Structure 1
């Protein structure tokens, strides 16, 4: 084989490997039935969230996430996720209330209420439409009633990413591309979540959980990726770790 032929063959193989790697990423469009939506059973999960810098650990809050399957105001059965954040600072509370289509996780409405130390509550409400996310016009006290964010592709609700991951067909080598939007935040974008392996987590009491390890760089490849550990049986998130630019470690860990 001539040198030119070897070069051509090498280039072709490189393109094939690149195309194969790109093809390995599975897009997850809004409205498509999720393979493991049945993992989302009614349940309440509580997480301790803390920041660690060296040997110093600072507790931030306890985060309660409740999964419900119940009728909405129109009597249609929906997925309903209610979150309650109790801050380490007395009086600081965040409440989130979100509705979704059963089977697909397609978001409908999202409400956020944050009460500060001064006792004042900020109210925000959002309506997820096929081509945009807008403020809920009829929600009393909604400070984001005029919000209007274009969404060229329908987006999932980023504030319920932990439950969303629970419904994906996690397996060795699985990679998913998901369009998320944080209500009230930046424009919707596609994020890649990768199953990078598996690990058995051991609690301080000796309990063991076999987990999938999932990572994402949140479209910031210059930063260390955020890591999720999800139990292989229930696919519930057991732990989440992120490294901040200042070197501190931010942890969410399931209270069990």
Structure 2
């Protein structure tokens, strides 16, 4: 009897191990995304603020994200345009303009313009299968000499919210995604985004049942948490703890 019980326990443990392994999914650039159709043309606004250990909320900016589908050079492409209207530490404006293959979310180009205290900084990037380079033809591009090698094609980290919306979110999913922040100091690398459960949270029109997604951005011990509405998979909220005890919050306004 004890032998049978030990055998059943071993088989059960092995089954759990296999299930956990099966939940890990490498998301490779160029592969059609399971729920890309959830990305609809339209605009959403988020409020970003800092929550202090004392419970105060300090506004940072209003974050506008727009998805478009447009034809360029005879191809139907996706375009994501962002605008950040900041208030801290001084008024500022940032605009991002990013292009992608429709269906796969393969990044093609990314332009970023920042304006603060009368200074304007232009940055432009081109994504290729083995590298990310500065956009040579973009006027005033401060990143024109950039050349970052990548062992495999990488996704654009500055459009992660829409990208995660197109994944097959489900209980136990552990998506491993190669991301690169254009012009950043970190090399392209795989990050783990895990669906850890479900939760109801407040949305602009009332309570919403959400998938809860976590990542530590390859910094163990500092999980960021996302809430994506089931059905549309639109991100409603993100909370990211900082080393000083504050929490960066992004919450959907409309």
Aligned length: 248
Q: What does residue 252 of structure 1 align with?
A: 250
Query: Alpha-carbon deviation of 1:14?
Result: 7.3
1:157-188: CA deviations, max 9, x gaps?
00000000000011111110000000001100
Distance in 1, matches of 2:55 and 2:62, equals 21
Q: What is the CA distance between 1:144 and its match in structure 2?
A: 0.3
Aligned match of 2:56: 56
Counterpart residue number, 2:141: 142
Shift of 1:91: 4.2
User: Contact 2:20–2:172 at 8 Å: present in 1 too?
Assistant: no
> Structure 1 residues 164, 189: CA separation in 2 closer, same or farther (over 3 Å shift)?
same
* TM-fit CA distance, 1:77: 1.4
Partner of 2:188: 188
Task: Compute the displacement of 1:202 (Å).
Answer: 2.2
Question: What is the CA–CA distance in structure 2 between the aligned matches of 1:132 and 1:37, rounded to whole Å?
Answer: 25
Structure 2 unmatched ranges of 5 or more: none
With normalisation by structure 1, the TM-score equals 0.90
Distance in 1 between the 2:247 and 2:82 partners? 23
Q: Which residue of 2 aligns with 1:127?
A: 126
Distance change >3 Å, CA 199–CA 14, structure 1 → 2: closer
Question: Aligned Cα RMSD in Å?
Answer: 2.2
**Aligned partners of 2:55 and 2:23: how far apart in 1?**
40
What residue in structure 2 maps to residue 170 of structure 1? 169
Please state if 1:158 is matched with 2:130.
Answer: no
Q: CA deviation at 1:20?
A: 5.2
Deviation at 1:71, TM superposition (A): 1.5
